[in-house]
Amino acid sequence: MAAALQILPRLARAPLRPLFLGGPVARLASGMALAEQARQLFESTVGAVLPGPMLHRALSLDLDSGQLKVRDRSFQLRQNLYLVGFGKAVLGMAAAAEELLGQHLVQGVISVPKGIRAAMEHAGKQEMLLKPHSRIQVFEGAEDNLPDRDALRAALAIRQLAEGLTADDLLLVLISGGGSALLPAPIPPVTLEEKQTLTKLLAARGANIQELNTIRKALSQLKGGGLAQAAYPAQVVSLILSDVVGDPMEVIASGPTVASVHSVQDCLHILNRYGLRAALPRSVKTVLARADSDPHGPHSCGHVLNVIIGSNALALAEAQRQAEALGYRAMVLSTAMQGDVKSVAQFYALLVRVVGAHLTPPGPGTSVEEDEQLYELAAKLQLPDLQLKEALEAVAGAGSPVCLLAGGEPTVQLQGSGKGGRNQELALRVGAELGQWPLGPIDVLFLSGGTDGQDGPTEAAGAWVMPELASQATTEGLDVATFLAHNDSHTFFSRFQGGAHLLHTGLTGTNVMDAHILFLRPQ
Ligand SMILES: Nc1ncnc2c1ncn2[C@@H]1O[C@H](COP(=O)(O)OP(=O)(O)OP(=O)(O)O)[C@@H](O)[C@H]1O
Ligand SMILES: O=C(O)[C@H](O)CO
């Protein structure tokens, strides 16, 4: 991400206005209004998990008594408060914490992506920057989300601060996605290069984030509860912004303040699964063998309070509220949308067809088989929290426009060398699928965006589509299938209608995976 750090103008913030249902004459205008509403809904979604609002929801400070409240726990501040942080969203989180804690904060160290301060400055996002004479020292590193020497220096400074604390101190730990690469402290004799190579290989062979971070924890001094251990006997409060489906605290940034429950056997299984066990460097074998016979066992974290302060679910709940205020019947379908982007696109297209049939008068409705197909596709995607039946029941006979929301992180198997991201590719695939069927008198819009504001290595956060996309593209000489075959969704959207379907937010300063917004509105 860091190499491409660039900020684009923020979305124009116009007040959200309900749609006025009109006849066919108003169709084009209402199509544009729908797009504008989707953009603004996306902005509200992200707005709910921006560092400032999140920190203020999680922390409160009584200036008279010096009591810091975190959820239902209170901590007495008396020149004993320290801060560390690591992750892509931590600069803004630290700025908000600094603002809130004022003089109570004694000292801090954070590890954030290379170039992020310049990017935020360039964007005029003062609220994401620390004060000029801040007590928080900033390290920038982990270019391209890989642990490097700069990140290692940051990790060592963080460890040093933690190890210097006493039983009277309180350590506030700010954690967000990208934290694993920004806090590398390999256990000797494992070197940074060896750890980097192993994690790169695992990722390239398809290991998921749970598997990847299990290995990272086993080879790290600070992950898997190591940071909490270093800070002992100080009390530790971790404020965590989740970028992992289901918000597992032990996985996010490899859980530096959460005791690891994994055994060496778990690690060996993972390494076996990806054909890496035989070729392990001697140092890695040594560290794993040592862990097996460690008489101290895993780190204990009884002195830690871990709190998830922001997540995809929280962001989508806000989107649901906003959509309802606009007159939509709104529902969150899932916050765990994962799986291959092709299957996810098919799911959305079939969902549109099934929900559309519920919303429109009898006509080219769906068959019972299509309902069944939708459930089958949903089962194949294995979405643990999917509210499909509930959503279909809620929209049956609704008579009002419907907004279905989902979040997560589908995966793209890269085959071509084009330019794109998973959100733009998903939107393009949904658009192409939607064009294949007649949908009846209904307006449909689908938007997919990365809440961090950067979709893959592109300058856009995502894109939005309508069923007319493929036919309109043809009139411009653009063949959707060809762009998809080359994973070239960004080039497509940059050309199509002069880039009007791209979602540009600039870096948002937060990251709770992707958000999907689906509008269906009877004409
Ligand atoms: N040409 C492309 N078309 C579609 N997807 C792409 C393309 N190039 C990269 N990607 C996808 O982009 C993702 C990497 O981008 P990004 O840095 O936004 O992801 P990330 O590190 O998972 O970020 P985050 O979780 O912080 O949003 C990968 O999922 C990759 O498959
Ligand atoms: O840093 C990491 O490990 C990933 O972003 C998941 O939190």
The ligand that comes nearest to the alpha carbon of residue 512 is 1
Q: What is the DSSP letter of 70?
A: E
Ligand 1 lined by 452 (C-beta under 6 Å):
yes
Q: How far is the CA of 305 from the centre of ligand 2 (A)?
A: 19
Quote the pLDDT of residue 363.
Answer: 56
pLDDT at 409 over 50: yes
Nearest atom, ligand 1, residue 419 CA:
1
The ligand that comes nearest to the alpha carbon of residue 210 is 2
* Average pLDDT of span 337-355: 95
Using pLDDT thresholds of 50, 70 and 90, give the confidence band for residue 396: confident
Q: Assess whether the previous peptide bond of 410 is cis (omega < 30° from 0).
A: no
- The residue whose C-alpha atom lies closest to atom 7 belonging to ligand 2 is 252
Q: What single string gives the DSSP state of each residue in 385-412? A: T--HHHHHHHHTT--S-EEEEEEE--B-
> Radius of gyration (Cα) for the chain, nearest Å?
24
Quote the pLDDT of residue 437.
Answer: 84
pLDDT at 512 over 50: yes
Nearest atom, ligand 1, residue 425 CA:
4
Joined together, the tokens standing for residue 204 give 């390239």
- The residue whose C-alpha atom lies closest to atom 2 belonging to ligand 2 is 253
**What ipTM score was computed for the predicted complex, to two decimals?**
0.95
Looking at 3.40.50.1820, 3.40.50.10180, 3.20.20.70, 3.40.190.10, the CATH number of the domain 51-310 comes to 3.40.50.10180
Using pLDDT thresholds of 50, 70 and 90, give the confidence band for residue 22: very low
Ligand 1 lined by 419 (C-beta under 6 Å):
yes
Q: Which residue has the tokens 């270019």?
A: 143
Ligand 2 lined by 244 (C-beta under 6 Å):
yes
Listed in order, the ranges of the chain carrying CATH 3.40.50.10180 are 51-310
CA–CA dist 207, 120 (Å, integer): 32
The ligand that comes nearest to the alpha carbon of residue 209 is 2
The ligand that comes nearest to the alpha carbon of residue 203 is 1
Ligand 2 lined by 243 (C-beta under 6 Å):
yes
pLDDT tens-digit readout, 177-189: 999 999 999 999 9
Nearest atom, ligand 2, residue 181 CA:
1
Using pLDDT thresholds of 50, 70 and 90, give the confidence band for residue 270: very high
Listed in order, the ranges of the chain carrying CATH 3.40.1480.10 are 22-48+313-522
Ligand 1 lined by 342 (C-beta under 6 Å):
no
Q: Which residues pair with 220 in a beta bridge?
A: 186
* Residue to mutate, 414, 511, 514, ligand 1, most ligand atoms under 8 Å from C-beta: 414
CA–CA dist 45, 50 (Å, integer): 9
pTM: predicted TM-score of the whole model, two decimal places: 0.89
Ligand 1 lined by 450 (C-beta under 6 Å):
yes
Using pLDDT thresholds of 50, 70 and 90, give the confidence band for residue 368: confident
CB burial string 111-133: b at 16+ within 10 A, e below: bbbbbbbebbeebebeebbbeee
Map residue 329 onto helix, strand or coil.
strand
Quote the pLDDT of residue 170.
Answer: 98
Phi, psi of 84 (to 5 degrees): -135, 160
pLDDT at 4 over 50: no
* Residue to mutate, 86, 195, 209, ligand 2, most ligand atoms under 8 Å from C-beta: 209
Phi, psi of 110 (to 5 degrees): -130, 155
Q: Report the side by side order of strands in the sheet with 170-175.
A: 136-141, 105-113, 81-86, 170-175, 235-241, 304-310
The ligand that comes nearest to the alpha carbon of residue 224 is 2
Nearest atom, ligand 2, residue 177 CA:
5
* Average pLDDT of span 55-78: 94
Question: What dotted CATH number matches 22-48+313-522?
Answer: 3.40.1480.10
CA–CA dist 310, 57 (Å, integer): 10
pLDDT at 21 over 80: no
